[in-house]
Amino acid sequence: MESLARTSNLLFSLLVLLLSWPWLPTAAENVNLDFQSFSIRSLTLLGDAYLRNGSVGLTREAGVPSSGAGAVLCNVPIRFHDPATNSSASFSTRFSFSITNTDPGTSGDGLTFFLSPENQTLGAAGESLGLFNASQPSPADSSIVAVEFDTFMNAGIGDPSSNHVGLDIGGARSVQAADLAALGIDLKSGGAITAWVEFLSGEKTFSVWVSSSGDRPAAPVFSTAAFDLSVIFQEFMYVGFSASTEGSTEVHAILDWSFRTFGLPEGNLSSPAANSSSDGSPGGVIPAMPISSPERRSSHRKLSLALVIAGPVVFFCLVFSLVAWVSLMKLIRLRKRERFTPELLKGPRNISYRELSAATGGFHRSRIVGNGSFGCVYRATDPSSGMAYAVKRSSHSRQGKSEFMAELTIIARLRHKNLVQLVGWCAEKDELLLVYEFMPNGSLDKVLHETRRPSETLDWARRVRITRGVVSVLIYLHQECEQQVIHRDIKTSNIMLDAHFNARLGDFGLARLMDHDKSPDCTLTAGTMGYLAPEYVQYGKATEKTDVFSFGVVLLEICSGRRPIEKLAVDSGDMVNLVDWVWNLYSNNKLLEAADPSLKGEFDGDEMVRLLLVGLSCVNPNSGERPSMRRVLRILNGEAELLLVPRMKPLPVFSHSLPPLSLQDIVSD
């Protein structure tokens, strides 16, 4: 009876699907976004960008002189061009923003609304408005379209005033601009300003309206048909906002935002009938009905007569078979599109064990690319797209399950360009699996210590960029998340390198969430010897300062090419601690001798000394003397002075408020 009930439900569902199917589009290509309040789940925050009270801040209030840049992008890529039909989307957007200048003696530089082919678009500060790369333009810059709201007059790039709006294509120099003073609009007033931007693909017109009242004016600030943006559009692009400052304290915020595309054919994009039906207006298109010839109508009558004679049972079986086949094909195609497709993800997904087993060759030993205390990491390949992923498989232990839940809970809510992105997870068949982006260049540890010529793979410029990336993501974890995240296991083997050797911090199995205004709980010590702060080993109390210590060891490791703890010689049993070794060189005025010999002197000496001193200040045995990660970034940017590093390594001073843990309580891998 239960089987019969399931069969009846299936028949009923298929019948409903048959009745509704012709009127349901198979794939809506036009999108409609509406952000009355912003959430980290739907956005990617880059640089100085942050969320506060439902709005997005792009730059921060800081002392003068100060420079910074931030960007926010919608997580989901949007189709702007269909190569099969050679049609381009029209779009319209409305957003409100505010620009507040806390120091009237300075100004600059403004914000942009932009379209970009990349989801990690963050450019230089100053006139580049946090969008373009001024010194070395990237290939993606040429496909960036932006509307700038500029508060600084830069005559070198043709700005009409320090209060203007402009259209930028591929660079910071506006191809069309208009002064807003005539409209009585002051971008730096601090009040809410609303803008409307519209591009009509059919008419090839681009128009911008600006208002300080919230009502759209009758006439646009400017409208141009001289630039056909459809020739610039990539098939998929990202939409977002950027802003920057240079020597000023301007704070840029996005208050609300709506965006939609229209004009792309719905459903089968390669269908000529669908393409001819598109009129450039919002909404879907009406499917073309088949044309019936007299011969076809005659054959239909014969078929109907045969069906009447055969009886309703045969007719129902035919309909059922047809509907079942069509429905199954649609479900299979939809499953293939959604499976492992990162562009469609709004967050980590629950992926079936069968899919992950197929993608890893049944978790074959040859697919293992890494091992850790959590378990093994396998290289997975999606059979349909050929894309590579990393699948982290836990060991079957109590600790493994707790670490699994910790990593999933924490990293699922994090978004930063220097974090390894979590794609999905699986908890089936007594297996605990996490699916990440695949990092083709592996871990910093392997590249730094196991490659034959590390200086060729990691030259000095790449090492500095990796350092800045790790600093940026630690600032995000410590100060910019809704709850502070203490990583507790920062080391070079947990810093991954993407295809461009950008740093991506991963492995949150030991991380802990903590409210910003609360003290951390005392827990068992966890982590890796050589990277642990003295007070952490003594009391098991993890704070952001223990992460700073671990980062300091990583920084010394990057500069010197040495491991945190290693033998003095191959045939020697004596061990040397990296922190002690570098501090001893500093005490004897030989700090530059700590530089990695494999670099062969090809580095900036002053920059090497600065990074080594920053590393020593971070590994100060007394946690109160260590800088915050934001202070570290300002030092690296030349915006703050180096902390005074004592010539002799200080002795650690411990608080007596907590008893030390016993040796049995200390846990390390």
- Going by C-alpha positions, the residue among 46, 38, 30, 60 that lies closest to residue 257 is 38
Q: What is the pLDDT of residue 65?
A: 64
So what's the pLDDT on residue 444? 92
Both tokens of 202, joined, read: 């059919």
Position 468 pLDDT exceeds 90:
yes
Classify residue 498 by its DSSP letter: -
Give the helix/strand (H/E) hosting 148.
Answer: strand 145-150
Contact (Cβ atoms closer than 8 angstroms) between residue 121 and residue 47: no
Is pLDDT above 80 for 271? no
DSSP for 584-604, please give it. HHHHTT-GGGGS-GGGTT-S-
Q: Is the pLDDT of residue 277 over 80?
A: no
pLDDT band, very low/low/confident/very high, at 272 (cuts 50, 70, 90): very low
**In the predicted structure, residue 127 carries a pLDDT above the cut 50:** yes
**With 60 as the cut, is the pLDDT of residue 603 above it?**
yes
First to last CA, the chain: 56
pTM, 2 dp = 0.49
Q: Is the per-residue pLDDT at 657 higher than 60?
A: no
HSE-up of residue 49 (Cα within 13 Å, Cβ side): 30
pLDDT exceeds cutoff 60 at 458:
yes
Binding residues: 392
Average the pLDDT over each of 13-22, 211-220, 461-470 and give the range with the smallest value: 13-22
Q: Is the peptide bond before 517 cis (omega within 30 degrees of 0)?
A: no
pLDDT > 50? residue 314: yes
- Between CA 275 and CA 282 the distance in angstroms is 14
Residue for token digits 């810059």? 141
Q: What is the pLDDT of residue 339?
A: 45
Per-residue pLDDT, 146 = 94
3-state secondary structure 28-75: CCCCEEEECCCCHHHEEEEECCEEECCEEECCCCCCCCCEEEEEEEEC
Retrieve residue 592's tokens.
């530059």
For the ranges 39-53, 198-212, 291-305, 450-464, which has the lowest average pLDDT? 291-305
Q: Is 141 a catalytic residue?
A: no
Numbered residues of the known binding site for ATP: 392
pLDDT of residue 295: 44
> 633-663 in b/e burial notation, b at 16+ Cβ within 10 A?
bbbbeeeeeebebeeebeeeeeeeeeeebee
Mean pLDDT, range 159-182, rounded to an integer:
90
Rounded to 5°, angle at Cα 488 from 434 and 554: 100
Collapsing DSSP to helix, strand or coil, 96 comes out as strand
Query: 161 by DSSP, 3-state: which?
Result: coil
Instruction: List domains and CATH numbers for the chain.
Output: 33-262 (2.60.120.200), 344-437 (3.30.200.20), 444-665 (1.10.510.10)
Alpha carbon distance 420, 437 (integer Å): 6
**pLDDT score of 130 more than 50:** yes
List the catalytic residue out of 109, 489, 498, 507.
Answer: 489
